[in-house]
Structure 1
Amino acid sequence: MTRYPGLPAVLALGAPLLLGACASMAPVDNAALTRQVTDTERAFAATMARRDFEGFKAFLADEAIFDGGAQPLRGKAAVAAAWKDYFDGPQAPFSWEPDRVVVLASGTLAQSSGPVRDGQGKVTTRFNSVWRQESPGTWRIVFDKGEPACDCLLKKTPSRR
């Protein structure tokens, strides 16, 4: 006699439901998600050009980390406070645009990167950002880091073994 007499019935009913849920999950359209993240990154950058600080904050995940200074900025409030001054004045002090976006096969995380230009248009830095899909079509930035600009991506590197 089994210790859990109702367990076989629960398993018999639950297994088809679980399998049905898995079968009904739509495959991820990676190309569409890549376009979606690219458009999101461009919209994020446009907040700087428009001098739209509130719009900028809307793209930040609550637990965002921006790592580019002496200490990482942890959390939406800290990032927003540190970036507030960049939105003062009529001209944006810098701009950025994605030139590379990749999305996980699961469609839950993406990475974007590209050049950062100073107010005169000179490339000074390269950004690297990680985006998380928080709900269908809604991406928020969770990690951001700037790196000195270089032509190192243009050089072919041997594969690691």
Structure 2
Amino acid sequence: MRLLSSTAGIVLALLAAGAGAAAPTNAELKQQVTDTERAFAASMKARDHAAFSSFLSDEAVFFNDPAPPMRGKEAVARGWKRFFDKPAAPFSWEPDQVEVLDSGTLAISGGPVYDPSGKLVSRFSSIWRLEAPGRWRIVFDRGSDVCDCKKP
């Protein structure tokens, strides 16, 4: 009986300690998403398709205009495999904008996409969702060409 009482006390103490832990601030959540986006981009530079795939939500949808969107982790991983086949990355990206909902469960990131010579060719926009066990995974991704327009 004494063992049961001691065990219950320990469990209650641990629950109370966990309940008192401060939730991350919005700034901390933004940093988490920024770091995750940078690690996602680093998988391309490292030519690591398995690492790239690990950032995909099972429900991921990647837009690839004008083709229909790729739906689901397996379809996106399969569709992006071609970008990992050659020794050099065909493009790179980095976040320059990140916002997170106050609930801390959904975020958007965006930024420039560069060709291998460093020329800006596109901008990306990605939606991230906080999934178990506390990992940010990408649920939507879309790139948009950058206009190389000259003003008249």
Determine the structure 2 residue equivalent to 1:71.
Answer: 68
Q: Is the 8 A contact 1:115 1:127 kept in 2?
A: yes
Determine the structure 1 residue equivalent to 2:12.
Answer: none
- 1:3-152 map, 5 Å: 26-69=22-65, 70-135=67-132, 137-150=134-147
Figure out how many residues of one structure are paired with residues of the other and give that number: 130
Find the residue that maps to 2:139 and give its secondary structure.
strand
Determine the structure 2 residue equivalent to 1:16.
Answer: none
Cα distance in structure 2, aligned partners of 1:25 and 1:74: 37
Q: Is the 8 A contact 1:115 1:149 kept in 2?
A: no
Find the residue that maps to 2:103 and give its secondary structure.
coil
Closer/same/farther in 2, CA of residues 30 and 78 from structure 1, 3 Å limit: same
Q: Is the 8 A contact 1:28 1:106 kept in 2?
A: no
> Identity percentage over the alignment?
61
Residue 148 of structure 1, CA deviation:
1.5
Q: Is the 8 A contact 1:126 1:148 kept in 2?
A: yes
Write the deviation string for residues 79-126 of structure 1: whole angstroms up to 9, x where unpaired.
011100100111000000000000000000000000000111111110
Cα distance in structure 1, aligned partners of 2:133 and 2:79: 29
Letter in 2 for 1:115: P
TM-score of the superposition, structure 1-length normalised?
Answer: 0.75
Find the residue that maps to 2:68 and give its secondary structure.
coil
Consecutive unaligned residues of structure 2, counting only runs of 5 or more, are 1-18
TM-score of the superposition, structure 2-length normalised?
Answer: 0.80
Stretch of structure 1 that moved more, 132-141 or 103-112: 132-141
Find the residue that maps to 1:86 and give its secondary structure.
helix
- Which 4+ residue blocks in structure 1 deviate beyond 2 angstroms? 23-28
Cα distance in structure 2, aligned partners of 1:150 and 1:104: 30
Residue 26 of structure 1, CA deviation:
4.3
